[in-house]
Structures are given as structure tokens and as C-alpha cells.
Amino acid sequence: MLFEEGHIYHVYNRGNNKEKIFYHNYNYLYFIEKIRTSILPYSDILACCLMPSHFHLMFEVKRVIFNNVSLNNSIGRMLSSYTRAINNQEKRTGSLFQEHTQAICLTKIDGITPSWYKINGITNINISQPERDYPVLCMVYIHNNHVKHGLEKKPDKWEFSSFREYKGLVDNCLINREKGLYYFNYSEPER
């Protein structure tokens, strides 16, 4: 993973062989604390959703090095530490997560294919503001992921999604709500 300051990333991983990574509610809470200590010193978290077999994070990088440790190493340490705890808890061994955690930059426009649309038979390119559009689409995706996977029927019902914090239903201070609202309220994508 290559992180750059001032850019927004979608970071995600899932259980090895699509297995569970969270077994009990306290596992989710422990992972949230790991996020708080391992990622917040580097980034403003804009969205997150933790589900039984995978997680999604969206954050804007403020710095790539903190106390002589890179954001990459901090994420690696977080996942390794969490794996050790779950392996001890579940009396298991080996990898908990898939080998490569994914990190997609949402604000670097180069390499992103723009959306195309037709009006009166004429093909047009949508180049409004991709550096803002892609974070909005990602945030909507993250906040609806547990609904897509059938864990809840509505986004505000899943306890381990930042959507609840945006709606004012909880106040756990993991996300930078003000910065997230800047992107989330930009425009709701058409469905």
C-alpha cells in the first residue's frame, strides 16, 4: 500500500478463506480501539463498517509517518495484533486475514475511468468533480454494505457502521464527522 498525504483511501480486507474475523461483539469493539490507536494518528476516518467476515475503512491521510512508524506498518501491526488476539481467543493458528489488504485511492483522478452518459443520442463524459464524486460513492457503498450482505434491512441498524454516528444515533468519535459530511452531503448518487 502506498499512501500519500491529502488523499482519501478505501481500505478493506476480509477473513482468510472468507471466514469470520469477528466472533463476538467485544471483538468488534476491540478492533475499533485498534483502529483508534493505529490509524487515527495518521488520518481522519470518514467511514467504516465492520462485518463478521470483513471490514471497510475510508480515511483521508494527514501524515504517512508518525513517531517514526509509517501508516503502512501501523496498519500491518494492527492486523497482526488483532490476529494474535483472535487466534488466542478461538484456539486457532495461522492467518486471520487475506494476504493483501487493499487500499484504493479515491481522490487521484489519473487512472480512474470517468462515467459516460447519453443525452439525445449524444455521448457525453461526466467530469464534474471526480475527486469529490468517488469518495461520495465509496461512502454510500460502505454505509450500505451490511444491508447488501443481509445483516440488517436499514443502514442505521448495524451497530458497527459509521452511518449511525453520522445520523447522531451514537457518539463514539471514531470518524471526523464534519469532514465526512463535506463529502457525504455533496450529492446523493442516483439509483
Domain containing residue 25: CATH number? 3.30.70.1290
Q: What is the pTM of this model?
A: 0.83
Q: What pLDDT is recorded for position 186?
A: 45
C-alpha cell at 115: 462515467
Asked whether residue 24 is domain-assigned, the answer is: yes
pLDDT on residue 191: 37
**99: in domain:** yes
What tens digit of pLDDT does each residue of 27-65 get? 999 999 999 999 999 999 999 999 999 999 999 999 999
Evaluate whether residue 121 is within a structural domain. no
Q: Is the pLDDT of residue 105 over 50?
A: yes
**Statement: residue 175 has pLDDT above 80:** yes
pLDDT at 188: 40
pLDDT greater than 60 at residue 121: no
Lowest mean pLDDT among 6-10, 132-136, 138-142, 171-175: 132-136
Please state, in angstroms and rounded to a whole number, the distance separating the CA atoms of residues 57 and 97. Answer: 15
What's the confidence (pLDDT) of residue 171? 80
**What domain range includes position 93?**
8-106+134-184
- The per-residue pLDDT of the chain, averaged, comes to 86
Q: Where are the beta strands (DSSP E) in the chain?
A: 8-14, 43-51, 54-61, 65-66, 69-70, 102-105, 115-119, 122-126
Q: Evaluate whether residue 113 is within a structural domain.
A: no
Asked whether residue 170 is domain-assigned, the answer is yes
In single-letter form, the type of residue at position 49 comes to: C
Instruction: Judge whether 45 lies within some domain.
Output: yes
**Higher pLDDT pick, 107 / 86:** 86
Question: What does the pLDDT read at residue 88?
Answer: 98
Domain-located, residue 191: no
Distance CA 75, CA 57 (A): 11
Joined together, the cell numbers standing for residue 141 give 457503498
47, part of any domain: yes
Structurally, the chain folds into a number of domains equal to: 1
